[in-house]
Structure 1
Amino acid sequence: MKSRVYRATLFALYQLCIVIGIVAMPLAIAARQAGLTLPIHRVLANVEEAYEATQP
């Protein structure tokens, strides 16, 4: 049962990270033009790895 809750939580977190990445796109474009990068891709990759590791 805990495994299902953990997997569902990771899935929700993964989806939330995707939404945050989409919403932050204009900010990321402006930051890139200023010479900065936002680490959203790293957060998304880490959450994706954790979610995929829970798959049976």
Structure 2
Amino acid sequence: MQSQVARFTTAVAYQTSLAVGIMLLPFALVARRMGVTLPVGRLVERAEGAYESTR
């Protein structure tokens, strides 16, 4: 039961990070033109790693 809850939680976190990344894409493009990078990619990669490790 504990592992199912952990798997569900990490799946929700992964999907949420993908949604946030997609929503922030226009801001990230503008920020990149100004020379600033947003760490959204790292957030998605970490969430994906956590999701993959629970499988």
The Cα of 1:43 is off from its aligned counterpart by 0.8
Percent of aligned pairs with the same residue? 42
The CA RMSD measured in Å over matched residues stands at 0.5
Task: State the one-letter code of the partner of 1:27.
Answer: F
> After superposition, what is the alpha-carbon deviation per residue over 1:4-51, rounded to whole angstroms, capped at 9, x for unaligned?
001100000100000001111110001000001110100110111111
Mapping for residues 1-40 of structure 1, pairs under 5 Å? 1-40=1-40
* Aligned pairs, number: 55
Q: TM-score if structure 1 supplies the norm length?
A: 0.94
Unaligned runs of 5+ in 2: none
